[in-house]
Structure 1
Amino acid sequence: MIIILVSAQTVYAITAIQNTAPSASRYDPNSSSLTLAAGQARTFIVKGTDPDGNLRGTEWYLSGKHQSSRFALSGPGGTDSWSYTFNTSGMYAIEALVFDTQNAYSSPALWTVQVDSASIASFNPPTGTKYPGNTLSSSVTVKNTGRNTRSYWVGLSYRKPDGTLYNIPAKQTNTLSPNSQQTLNFSWNLPPDAPYGSYNAITSIWNGYNSNTSLMKSPKYGSKNIKDAFTVVSGNPKQMRALFIWGAASTVLDRSQEADSLIQYSKEHGINTLFFYTDISRLSNSPSQFKSFIARAHSNNISVHALNGEPAWTTDHQTATNYVKAVINYNKNSRTNERFDGVCLDVESYVLKSWEKDSNGDSLPLAKSSVNSNLAAQYLKLLSGIKNTISSSGTAVTFGVDIPFWFDGNGFELTYNKSNRLLSSHVQDITDITTIMDYTDNYNNAIAWARYEIDYATRINKSAVIAFETQKLDNPGSTFYEEGAAALENAIKQVNSSFSSKQGFRGVAIHSYESYKYE
């Protein structure tokens, strides 16, 4: 601009420099719109430029209301920031203006902010015991607790025992108006190789979902993590997965909370059968305690077998018979849901001092010891008498016994009732279920040592169960005490895989609750 001034003697030409207003632009975030979760803080950065080189400061506005003025700029260019925590859901406009030393203002740099709020009203993940290949069902109820009408994305994950995740495909809600909610149902199959152990269930509400990357888009509006939601175990749910209860049986009968704990533990670990130590005196004098516990177990689909036995019963048949008669009498005086499902005898004749052993402490084969052969015959006579007692009672009680894996070894043939068979086979002929104490921490050994009994059970239409030890023993190779639960479950998986086609294979048993629950 040129201004001409005229006086009497002189004409002056004065050039006046015109000030140019600065400009403002979004620096961070660069996008004009963004979505945040209620309670989330965000920093905004504006960039100012001025061709005159006389920048001075900024002004910040939130939905038209002045928030801040700062003399933070100088020269031809620079940036300034402002932060705010959006505690309430809604729509917000953020404006940043830049001014110079001549109080010339830029047009505003503008951000539109959508602040939302949502909560997980309920989360129902899988519970109890699951097997590889099972279908897992979860439901998540999402509530729009904000002021904006919109949809949300829901993610679901199952955290494996090793900490890694199974991420389930995300789902989107319908468009939800404020205070409305929707329940989403998720169904997903556990892989056949799903690791055994306890799983957490985790769900979260998100702003969006990228189908190309399978990743959720922030922000996250809420989440819930349920620890130890369910347990994955090996085996077939139709087969027996039994647990021996010895010393804890008394406490379980005395205390309701201990009974609840045992039943819950059994459900979480896939236990569907309890070999429950049953004292004849207590059974006769306090039958109501057994009735209450067995009824509770049955209501949770858990069978209960009366467990007892002493090496002395090998020759003391009357005491053993009296015990079985007491169980039968109890059942006759109890309702159906209060009755024992079976009797499990743990006699272990080879523990007797009179049972002959070699210099290594191992049992002498029957062929090399007339003493052992005679005791084995007495043992079989005991079992035959028990079987007759049960049969003549007219009650439906399964008769089972525990035997060591080596009853089928070389030299353990025995003639009984005019039949010459291995001792293990004689036992299987008499009983309904034979539990093989296959005590090793090597599943290949467990499979090899039990194969004869499984094949024989299949041939004669009886049942055989393979038992594993978890107690601390002098011989660590006989127990999973050192290896832990994961190794035990893997051994069970291998055994189940090897014998799944055998009709005589009934399942597995774990010895015992007192040590297994602390693995």
Structure 2
Amino acid sequence: MRALAAIWLLALLALAGPVRACAPVLERAIWTWEPESYAMLQSEAEADAAIAFLHAKGIQVVYLYADAYQGRNLIVEQPQLYRRLIKRFRKADIYTYALLGSAYLHTERYVLPSHRKEALAMVQRIFDYNARAAQEERFDGVNLDIEPHVLPQWGSQRQALLTGFLDLSRDIMAAKRQSGQAMSVGPAIPFWLDGIPLEWQGKRKPASEHVQDIYDYVALMDYRDHALGPDGIVSHGADEIAYAKAIGRTVWLGVETLPNDLKKVSFEHLREADMERELALAKRSFEDNSAFGGFVIHHYGQYQRWLKGVK
């Protein structure tokens, strides 16, 4: 009977197709912006250094910038560079998400109807890239950085801008379904979005819940330098994680290392050991919750600079 069971198991595995061997439990991701992403794409030495650094810091997911920068758009002009780098990451058990949206392109404007086509074209390029790439060269997901609150009219037109963001989000996910891609797609959103009630498609609820209803996951910009207390990482992420569990979604908690005038926003003024202590406390609060994905660090270049500047 054991021999027969083994035969059936092998048959089922064969039918299931190839899988990534020893896939790691994902607990750390990192935003990687234009200069560092383009450097990794164009230099094998930079890619080698990145892989070594990511392994050393236990980071298993790279949000790799995949749009235009300084007059070039490598995902269009030289997609073979993405194929090569993603394949190398995959061999190193590192997952790759296409990071879309940037200050360089002023993608906060993409929530406006006049920029809808640009936004959809940006995402469609990733779907098209994946459709043409071999399995080991494909993006595992997409992370969107489209932040309407950056627009100057946010103070007076907040509801309209958030409605535009939700309409765009709906169209992005429709394009994903149309493409047939199975990749995970989600945006970076601020933690305070759960405090803004919004009516959309006949339902009134916190804006964050509308966003979570649409996407596969969210990366919550949960920018605080401490885990516990009423103004900490845990408190600000609790509602989103509870809602994600109720609807079968995932939340990643973003943390900051860039300098900020409000010290509590970033770990920049602290040591690496301080950040690790606080993240361990936050993880302990959520690790039994299936909706908790892990932590996302902002961002690759600054994180490295910060680490070099601390003892």
**How big is the shift at 1:275?**
0.7
**How big is the shift at 1:326?**
0.4
The equivalent residue for 1:148 is: none
Does 1:450 pair with 2:237?
yes
Q: Are the equivalent residues in 1 in contact too, given 2:252–2:293 (CA < 8 A)?
A: yes
Shift >4 Å, 4+ stretches:
none
The equivalent residue for 1:343 is: 142
**How big is the shift at 1:398?**
0.9
**How big is the shift at 1:482?**
1.2
Tell me how far apart the structure 2 counterparts of residues 295 and 333 of structure 1 sit (CA, whole Å). 14
Q: Secondary structure at the match of 1:517?
A: helix
The equivalent residue for 1:373 is: 159
The equivalent residue for 1:250 is: 38
- Deviation by residue 1:207-234 (Cα, 9 ceiling, x = unmatched): xxxxxxxxxxxxxxxxxxxxxxxxxxxx
Tell me how far apart the structure 2 counterparts of residues 304 and 469 of structure 1 sit (CA, whole Å). 20
The equivalent residue for 2:7 is: none
Match of 1:291 among 68, 80, 83: 83
- Deviation by residue 1:412-462 (Cα, 9 ceiling, x = unmatched): 111111111100000000011101101111211110001000000000000
AA aligned to 1:288 is Q
Q: Secondary structure at the match of 1:443?
A: coil
Does 1:306 pair with 2:90?
no
**How big is the shift at 1:473?**
2.0
Structure 2: runs of 5+ lacking an equivalent = 1-23, 102-106
Does 1:238 pair with 2:36?
no
Equivalent residue pairs, number: 268
Which protein has the bigger helix share?
2
AA aligned to 2:205 is R
Match of 2:54 among 255, 259, 266: 266
Map 1:128-143 → 2, pairs under 5 A: none
Tell me how far apart the structure 2 counterparts of residues 352 and 516 of structure 1 sit (CA, whole Å). 27
Map 1:51-70 → 2, pairs under 5 A: none
The equivalent residue for 1:396 is: 182
Q: Are the equivalent residues in 1 in contact too, given 2:220–2:254 (CA < 8 A)?
A: yes
Match of 1:320 among 93, 100, 119: 119
AA aligned to 2:108 is P
Tell me how far apart the structure 2 counterparts of residues 352 and 240 of structure 1 sit (CA, whole Å). 32
AA aligned to 2:184 is T
Q: Scaled by the length of structure 1, what TM-score is found?
A: 0.51
Q: Which has the higher contact order (CA 8 A, sep 6+)?
A: 2
Q: Are the equivalent residues in 1 in contact too, given 2:223–2:265 (CA < 8 A)?
A: yes
**How big is the shift at 1:476?**
2.0
**How big is the shift at 1:474?**
2.4
- Deviation by residue 1:28-63 (Cα, 9 ceiling, x = unmatched): xxxxxxxxxxxxxxxxxxxxxxxxxxxxxxxxxxxx
The equivalent residue for 2:207 is: 423
Counting aligned pairs with the same residue, the percent is 31
The equivalent residue for 1:437 is: 221
Tell me how far apart the structure 2 counterparts of residues 275 and 290 of structure 1 sit (CA, whole Å). 13
**How big is the shift at 1:271?**
0.5
Q: Which moved more, 1:273-282 or 1:373-382?
A: 273-282
Tell me how far apart the structure 2 counterparts of residues 389 and 331 of structure 1 sit (CA, whole Å). 13
Tell me how far apart the structure 2 counterparts of residues 241 and 326 of structure 1 sit (CA, whole Å). 26
Q: Secondary structure at the match of 1:353?
A: coil
Pairwise CA RMSD: 1.1
**How big is the shift at 1:517?**
1.6
> Greater CA radius of gyration, 1 or 2?
1
Tell me how far apart the structure 2 counterparts of residues 432 and 485 of structure 1 sit (CA, whole Å). 31
Match of 2:293 among 496, 506, 515: 506
Tell me how far apart the structure 2 counterparts of residues 373 and 472 of structure 1 sit (CA, whole Å). 30
Tell me how far apart the structure 1 counterparts of residues 186 and 194 of structure 2 sit (CA, whole Å). 18
Does 1:474 pair with 2:261?
yes
AA aligned to 2:125 is A
- Deviation by residue 1:462-485 (Cα, 9 ceiling, x = unmatched): 000001001122222211111121
The equivalent residue for 2:64 is: 276
- Deviation by residue 1:388-429 (Cα, 9 ceiling, x = unmatched): 0001111112111000010011xx111111111100000000
Q: Scaled by the length of structure 2, what TM-score is found?
A: 0.84
- Deviation by residue 1:5-28 (Cα, 9 ceiling, x = unmatched): xxxxxxxxxxxxxxxxxxxxxxxx
Tell me how far apart the structure 1 counterparts of residues 165 and 250 of structure 2 sit (CA, whole Å). 20
Q: Are the equivalent residues in 1 in contact too, given 2:226–2:233 (CA < 8 A)?
A: yes
Structure 1: runs of 5+ lacking an equivalent = 1-236, 357-368
Tell me how far apart the structure 1 counterparts of residues 83 and 279 of structure 2 sit (CA, whole Å). 32
Q: Secondary structure at the match of 1:480?
A: coil
Q: Secondary structure at the match of 1:279?
A: coil
- Deviation by residue 1:44-84 (Cα, 9 ceiling, x = unmatched): xxxxxxxxxxxxxxxxxxxxxxxxxxxxxxxxxxxxxxxxx
Map 1:97-108 → 2, pairs under 5 A: none
Tell me how far apart the structure 1 counterparts of residues 91 and 302 of structure 2 sit (CA, whole Å). 25
Tell me how far apart the structure 1 counterparts of residues 211 and 260 of structure 2 sit (CA, whole Å). 27
AA aligned to 1:342 is G
AA aligned to 2:80 is S
Tell me how far apart the structure 1 counterparts of residues 194 and 181 of structure 2 sit (CA, whole Å). 31
Q: Are the equivalent residues in 1 in contact too, given 2:226–2:278 (CA < 8 A)?
A: yes
Q: Secondary structure at the match of 2:154?
A: coil
Tell me how far apart the structure 2 counterparts of residues 285 and 391 of structure 1 sit (CA, whole Å). 25
Q: Secondary structure at the match of 1:267?
A: helix
Q: Secondary structure at the match of 2:161?
A: helix
